[in-house]
Amino acid sequence: MTIYLIRHGQTQGNLERRYIGCRTDEPLCAAGAAALREREYPPVRRVFVSPMRRCLETAAILFPGVRPEIVEDFRECDFGDFEGLNYAELNGRADYQAWIDSGGELPFPDGESRAQFSARCVKAFDALRLPSPGEDCAVVAHGGTVMAIMEAYARPKGGYFDFQVPCGAGYALEADGRYAPLESAK
């Protein structure tokens, strides 16, 4: 069985490099939806999806006819006071500099820490009722969700930030932890 871990398509917030987490339920932008329609993804029997609109829209484009199974704890990180802002707007703020200096380990002010977020995502992944062996499935979620799951299960091991993926991309993760970047181009 292969589990395809896919980051949602591009949004306006992604284009503007904003911290768009679980507090902002934005849709795909037109270019993001169009880019997804130009790609092919492997067929799957089941699709597990974050409840955020951008993920639901992505799942509907990539896997039409497969009813998405919403997994609440696959939602994006709570970026707290940084929600909706980008680097230029945060630059010079002491709380942002402290977060940067911590390597992203400090909790976002009034939000989650990376450790809390990762634990939430991995716990939700562990609770999935996966299909039978040989029946592939997909997780359509956020870049951070994909990174957290890959950090926990990918072999060879890597760190959280080693598994960053662009919008619409992801990984094919095998049951034994072996993985490969998801090839998905027409």
**Closest of 11, 7, 61, 64 to residue 38, by C-alpha:** 61
Strand duo 170-174 + 68-70: pairing: unpaired
Residue 182's pLDDT is what? 86
Number of domains in the chain: 1
Answer yes or no: is 101 within a domain.
no
* Coil/strand/helix, residue 172: strand
Q: Is 145 within a domain? A: yes
Closest CA to 82 of 94, 98, 102, 96: 96
CATH of the domain at 25: 3.40.50.1240
Q: Is the pLDDT of residue 186 over 90?
A: no
Supply the range of the domain harboring residue 128: 2-79+112-181
> Crossing angle of helices 30-37/53-62, nearest 10°?
30
Q: Is residue 92, in this structure, part of any structural domain at all?
A: no
In a domain, 143, yes or no: yes
The string of pLDDT tens digits covering residues 104-157 is 999 999 999 999 999 999 999 999 987 677 789 999 999 999 999 999 999 999
Residue 9 lies in a domain: yes
Euclidean distance between CA atoms 110 and 112, whole angstroms: 7
CB contact at 8 A, 148 and 12: no
Q: Is residue 127 a part of any domain in this protein?
A: yes
Compute the average pLDDT of residues 18-42. Answer: 96
Residue 45 lies in a domain: yes
pTM: 0.94
